[in-house]
Amino acid sequence: MNARSQAAGQGAPGTGIFYGWFVVGAVLVVMTVTAGLGFYNLSVYLKAFIAERGFSVSATSGATACFFISSGITGLGVASLIEKYDPRWVITIGAMLSAIATFGAGYVTELWQLYAFYVLFGAGYAGAALIPGTTLVARWFVRKRSIALSVASTGLSLGGILLTPLAANMIEHMGLSGASPWLAVMFLLGVIPVSWFFIRSSPHAMGLGPDGDPIMRDKSGAPLPADGIDFEMAIRSRFFVFTAGAFIFAMMAQVGVIAHLFRLVAVRSGSNDTAALAVATMAMASIVGRLVGGWGLVYISSRLFVFGLMLVQGVALTLYASAEGTPALLATTVIFGVTVGNLLMMQPLLIAEAFGLKAYGRIYSFNQLLMTLGVATGPAALGFFYEWLDGYDVAFLVMAAASGLAFLLAVAAGPARALIESESHT
């Protein structure tokens, strides 16, 4: 490795910082913008479309589900594109599609336009958010991958804390028509410049290996290809099938509870302010939990960590079933928030650990498509059990049972490295 590439790999001249951390910082910013103006802003759009445009709750809720379906399906294509082309182009196209959809929100008056908005928005979100972001971090880090992913994915929570309230305030005071052009500009300016200034497709592009190590080469001096398992073999493996099933149930319970948390706390505490505090507490606990978890994973087994998360989530949901009063509700929310911060981070970590980087993007995107089953059905499932069982008490116990089932499926998946180690010995 020559002096020039080494200096480039170390970041700014004289800083001694591995350039991968600049990539992590850029991904954090991108995730902050895409989550704050995209994922967490969906509930804001739902309210605005109902209040301003007169759409029914059922029609708007159905259209919102199209966001997740579109994002999941588009993600498969995104994964293939970032394996072949510079991820910055994919992120840019995703941001542009999201901005076009956001701009168009101000002109939605018909039901078909409402569904078209969410389909286009979901496709753009897939191109700019989790799939390219986690793929980039996985390429740049191995030993410190958990720490790097915990920092980068903190942007998801920051977006909900910093940008979603701003977007909600703009829509409330300016209306959808007045706010949507500004939100579209924010999307473009928040994603595209930072991507092109700081993101690089891989450490190889700067003459480095992951974590700043020298590039591994074969006997002829050519760089070794990324290690790992083929896509078809990976998705048929025992580990993938059972782990995907585990996360479907875990995310169904988690997203369902997040959607109903405000109402649960408001009803039991008698205060909307307490409910708002609970949501903010969950967000802060998720940030702190994710950062601590990322550091801890350097020293402990990721598989055991996932077991613990699913059990703790089950305990938290069991406590919610009977929690009354502000102190008990907020304390339970802290416990639950820690699992929120870490479970999402663990999916890309486990996939990279189990299957390597050879087909990481395609495997992760397929996993995300399956996760749509849990994410999309969670809120509706908890609402159904609430109505059927006449209250949140037993409904939350059902969600706790879903977390318990997730734990059993994760145990049944077996060792994460079983497939890749068996391949290395053949």
Dist. CA 61–CA 47, nearest whole Å? 10
CA 252 vs CA 77, 237, 371: distances in Å = 24, 23, 8
17-212 folds as Growth Hormone; Chain: A; (1.20.1250)
Placement of tokens 């099933």 in the chain = 245
* pLDDT tens-digit readout, 91-107: 999 999 999 999 999 99
Backbone angles phi, psi at 217, to 5 degrees: -125, 155
Where do the structural domains in the chain lie, given as residue ranges? 17-212, 231-424
Print the SS3 string covering 386-397: HHHCCCHHHHHH
For residue 239, the model assigns a pLDDT of: 94
Intervals of the chain under pLDDT 70: 1-15, 57, 217-226, 421-426
For residue 8, the model assigns a pLDDT of: 44
Just give the CATH number of 231-424.
1.20.1250.20
Interaxial angle between packed helices 57-84 and 360-388, expressed in degrees from 0 to 180 and rounded to the nearest 10: 170
DSSP 28-92: HHHHHHHIIIIITTHHHHHHHHHHHH---HHHHHHHHHHHHHHHHHHHHHHHHHHHHS-HHHHHH
Backbone angles phi, psi at 187, to 5 degrees: -60, -45
Backbone angles phi, psi at 223, to 5 degrees: -60, 135
Residue 93: which of 201, 203, 195 has the closest Cα?
195
| 17-212 against 231-424: fold identical | yes
CA 264 vs CA 72, 277, 342: distances in Å = 29, 13, 23
